[in-house]
Structure 1
Amino acid sequence: MAAGIVPAAASAHPVRSCADLVRTFDVPDARTQVTSATVVVGTPEFCDVRGTIEPHIGFQLKLPLRGYQGRYLQYGCGGFCGFIGDPAFPQGCGPAFGDAAVAATDDGHQAPPENPFDTTWAAHDQKARDDYFYRAPHVLSKVSKAVIKAFYGRAPARSYFSGCSNGGREGLLLAQRYPHDFDGIVAAAPAAYYTALIGYQAWIARNSIPNDKLFVLHGAVMSACDGLDGLVDGQIEDPRLCHFDPGTLAGSLTADEIARVRRLYAGPSDGGARLYPGGQPYGSEISWTFWLNPSPEFGRGIAGELADNGLKNLVYPIGQPGSSLESFPFTVREFRRLVPETVKANALSLDLREFRRSGGKLILWHGAGDQGIPFEGTLDYWQRLTGGRAQDWARLFVVPSMWHCAGGDTLTEFDPFSALVSWVEGGKSPEKVIASGRDQAGNIVRTRPVFPYPLRARYVGSGSVDDAANFVAAPGFGFSDRIRWAGEDLYHRPGPVAP
């Protein structure tokens, strides 16, 4: 990792024109063709670089023309990728809006606009799978640094990665397999348990209940559990405090719907063996309306689309018969069929010693109300990795009530990136990060401190419960975070490492 940060008074200026970047970059194991490089006028003004890393990894890299401070920020991509998310310039980490070069990739394939869940590219192409599973984020970091050096005359002084969901999986994977790529990593709601996650999506999609019943269920859950954390504030601090019995809604829900809800909270299992380390969190029920249920925007629902497309084309070894949303059997035997291929995508290695020795800093965070990737899995990984305690190189933050990556009943936004920069460049470990909640008009209506897990925020007893200033750190609730489940051997199988 690069040593030293470019001082604010000595920001780098381009040493060649933007158009000069349109050429081939012979980066080892990542030969790259920059196909366009154009100046975009705005705030900030930047060189917009587009290109392809062999064989088919598309990327976008934005290079500020003024104010660049030697930082590089790479974003992860969500779902099955297949598109390049416009990389935003970070705010709040330095003296200027455009002080960092930023980049993103499609992970090696292009999804049709009408189907963002498409996986047909993976049906018979192992290289395309491997680019998505682990290679693309790594080679983009190598290529971006080469282009940055060509443009500014020096490589970035500090490199960062930030991603959520599949992007969070990529962040963890980079720390585990490519520990010298980034100085600081934010891995949010990581899809680290890839072997089990597609099956989990099938489980929740096949146990959905109608939207109108979800609002009834959510109201009953909140009435029973909101105050269990010591404060009635419209959010459940930790869903594991809640033991609401859906059977109390007999008359409002059918017997079949009650059974489905119980299965959703429990998570998939086979004869007592858990097939995923977690289940749907109490308090997340409103988010099931679009994650579990059909909608105009997400077809069969996000869970159903992820499950069906993943099972048909991606998670079984090429040449073996796949499955589908409708036919997938929830058995340990079927779980083991997925391991040979999906172990390549898992981000479950517990050996991060090289990342730590290199001075790397890791921030994990997860919403406690995550309807897409249960937060319990991240707690389980954290317990196995660190013993459940904050480290001098790693922190975990659990955001009460937040859904998958963003949104929720009360808290809707959480961004620890500026805290990560302060940690990497100033040595100041993050002791709290402020989460916020916005109303439908975009106004911030709640702020709340989030402390490193297992600490939690405790109300001081006076002042608004919507003001972060009225909360202090307190011990957590003392839950056991380690989960017994069918994939415990996967923590010791990090998979192959690409060049």
Structure 2
Amino acid sequence: MKRARIITATAALALATTGFAPAAATAAPDSVVRPITACGDLVRGFALPGAATHVTSAAVVAATGTDPEYCGVQGYVEPAVRFELRLPTKTYAGRYLQYGCGGFCGLINPPAFADCDLPHGGDVAVAATDDGHVGKTPAVVDDGSWGAHDQAARDDFEFRAPHVVARASKAIIQAFYGALPKKAYFTGCSDGGREGLQLAQRYPADFDGIVAGAPAGYWSPLLEFQAWLARANTAADGSPILTAAKLPALHNAVLAACDRLDGLGDGQLDDPRACRFDPATLTCTGPDTPSCLTPAQVAATRRLYSPPTDAHGTLLYPGGELRGSELSWAGWIIGVPETGGLSFARSLADNYLRYLGYPIGTPASTVDTFAFTKREFDRLTPEGVRYNAMSLDLSAFQRRGGKLVLWHGWADQAIPPAGTLDYYQRLTHGRTQNFVRLFMVPSLYHCGGGTTLTEFDPLRELVAWVERGTAPTVVTATGRDAAGTVTRTRPVFPYPQRAVYDGSGSVDDAANFRPAPPAAPVRDVVDWAGNGLYAIPGPVAR
């Protein structure tokens, strides 16, 4: 659900016949691989079964201070899955990295050359896709009108596009370098995280390692949750009840009540679930000012902290907004001038309910008419299971040696962490697995940004796990100010471990923290309306 304007392997024979690149045991990439053909010669068709591919342009792009010289490839997989692939001409060492997209996609975010802490600069061929459609402006990624009557476009976005782009990219890589990539990786956040989970669940031969950040895997219920956020904070006249001006006082009150629950007053909540702050403590006793909440605002805040339910109390989503995330509600839950006054949650939910959520030809809905009932939840399920990435069967991915790194920000305003925690415990049965790790990042917003920690990227650790067998035991999160200066580093240990201050040195230095077991037994599985969705297999593209 990442918003573009805000957030900004492996046998040649198998690919030749199927387009897959099996992750059989191979030596790690270690030397530069030179092209065997001219960049411009890639402009042609690639007859991949079920994924006919057309390269429409290919040209060498000169090196810059940050990027190597590369062959820039653009093309599409039929019918309309556009992609961009960048192939280093002098520094490629056998790795392929594919990026996921955010929101409803609809545009290609130029793929960046990744820093994987490896010996060759620019050694990773990188690719990205628009997931099979072009979104309308201004926001692009919240437009769903393209899917109102086009099932093929829906199929591409729901499950097909990342898989067929992986096949296309590997075929082009083989044509350019004379060999398949030795290792293939995928990284994405939000919808990109959903794509990563889908790839592990449905297409286990595509990638050796996958990073799935803040995954929107519970897709259909999550879009219903976005409608809940919009409705929970909308007055009868359509105006927002809780306004952006009230968020700083609300957030400061949460910190005052709960910051030290983890034993350290450091401006962040290491596990917000321990916080029981009641917004009623901020109720205005005099004039309505930015430092207090009206009774209506107290009620709206309580609704936002709560998951959506039907009239019988059945949870329609595993969780609500967590305390500590309040500052990030501006823009996502509360419209601000930068978003044209429209909250992104409302825009996403309305486009989904109007154009994407129900089978084509059946009655649709809107945010304002949607009924929070189990019946309506079930009406969204037939199409929703095509988007969802909820299968607990990753056995094929695991058998092939695939590695999965999940991560989520504790202050994520767009996708509450409860779903990821629920999925992880169901998947692992509460026991450490040899192919999957979860990292929970304090104070981090949706896919990035935050109050104290603003960046998290476990790609280096994933590569080390896949290529050197080193399971990640810690990933460092970073906080930067508006000028880009590092203001805090903090270790994040595999969940459910937590970071504990060792008692000396700066609390802004990761070196001064050690891992500790959870303060209480882990009970993350949620009893909710989607209990039956984990066993429903999604469609598979061939």
Smaller-chain TM-score bracket: over 0.9
Unpaired segments ≥5 residues, structure 1: none
Alignment match, 1:77: 101
- The 1-side partners of 2:27 and 2:173 are apart by 15
- The 2-side partners of 1:90 and 1:96 are apart by 11
Question: Helix, strand or coil for the counterpart of 1:243?
Answer: coil
- The 2-side partners of 1:214 and 1:333 are apart by 35
- Which of 26, 32, 35 does residue 56 from structure 2 map onto? 35
Alignment match, 1:170: 195
- The 2-side partners of 1:222 and 1:115 are apart by 33
**How far is 1:255 from its partner?**
1.4
Question: Helix, strand or coil for the counterpart of 1:304?
Answer: helix
Alignment match, 2:135: 111
Tell me, yes or no, if the aligned pair for 2:100 and 2:189 is still in contact at 8 Å: yes
Tell me, yes or no, if the aligned pair for 2:100 and 2:187 is still in contact at 8 Å: yes
Q: How does 1:82-481 map to 2 (within 5 A)?
A: 82-116=106-140, 117-208=142-233, 209-251=242-284, 252-270=292-310, 271-299=312-340, 300-478=342-520, 479-481=522-524
Q: Could you tell me which amino acid in structure 1 is paired with residue 32 of structure 2?
A: S
Tell me, yes or no, if the aligned pair for 2:28 and 2:467 is still in contact at 8 Å: no
Q: Could you tell me which amino acid in structure 2 is paired with residue 294 of structure 1?
A: G
Question: Helix, strand or coil for the counterpart of 1:240?
Answer: helix
- The 1-side partners of 2:107 and 2:339 are apart by 16
Q: Could you tell me which amino acid in structure 2 is paired with residue 482 of structure 1?
A: V
**How far is 1:7 from its partner?**
4.3
Question: Helix, strand or coil for the counterpart of 1:396?
Answer: strand
- The 2-side partners of 1:295 and 1:255 are apart by 22
Question: Helix, strand or coil for the counterpart of 1:142?
Answer: helix
Tell me, yes or no, if the aligned pair for 1:5 and 1:158 is still in contact at 8 Å: no
**How far is 1:115 from its partner?**
3.6
Tell me, yes or no, if the aligned pair for 1:390 and 1:452 is still in contact at 8 Å: no
Judged with a 3 Å threshold, the aligned counterparts in structure 2 of structure 1 residues 358 and 211 are, in CA distance, closer, same or farther, namely same
Tell me, yes or no, if the aligned pair for 1:163 and 1:186 is still in contact at 8 Å: yes
Alignment match, 2:530: 487
Tell me, yes or no, if the aligned pair for 1:390 and 1:453 is still in contact at 8 Å: no
Question: Helix, strand or coil for the counterpart of 1:497?
Answer: coil
- The 2-side partners of 1:304 and 1:108 are apart by 23
Tell me, yes or no, if the aligned pair for 1:5 and 1:70 is still in contact at 8 Å: no
- The 2-side partners of 1:264 and 1:22 are apart by 51
- The 1-side partners of 2:476 and 2:363 are apart by 47
Structure 2 residue 83 is matched with structure 1 residue 59: yes
Q: Could you tell me which amino acid in structure 2 is paired with residue 168 of structure 1?
A: G
Structure 2 residue 45 is matched with structure 1 residue 4: no
Unpaired segments ≥5 residues, structure 2: 1-21, 234-241, 285-291
Question: Helix, strand or coil for the counterpart of 1:488?
Answer: coil
Aligned length: 498
**How far is 1:215 from its partner?**
1.5
Tell me, yes or no, if the aligned pair for 1:242 and 1:282 is still in contact at 8 Å: yes
Q: CA RMSD in A?
A: 1.0
**How far is 1:290 from its partner?**
1.3
1:58-109 per-residue CA deviation (whole Å, 9 max, x = no partner) reads: 0000000011110000000000000001100011331122101000000000
Q: Could you tell me which amino acid in structure 2 is paired with residue 291 of structure 1?
A: W
- The 1-side partners of 2:159 and 2:99 are apart by 14
Identity value in percent? 58
**How far is 1:195 from its partner?**
1.7
Q: Could you tell me which amino acid in structure 2 is paired with residue 214 of structure 1?
A: L
**How far is 1:6 from its partner?**
5.5
Question: Helix, strand or coil for the counterpart of 1:464?
Answer: coil
Q: Could you tell me which amino acid in structure 1 is paired with residue 185 of structure 2?
A: Y
Under a length normalisation based on structure 1, what TM-score does the superposition of the two structures give?
0.98
Tell me, yes or no, if the aligned pair for 2:159 and 2:539 is still in contact at 8 Å: no
**How far is 1:254 from its partner?**
1.4
- The 2-side partners of 1:330 and 1:214 are apart by 27
Under a length normalisation based on structure 2, what TM-score does the superposition of the two structures give?
0.91
1:183-209 per-residue CA deviation (whole Å, 9 max, x = no partner) reads: 000000000001201110111122231
- The 1-side partners of 2:244 and 2:487 are apart by 26
- The 1-side partners of 2:217 and 2:110 are apart by 24
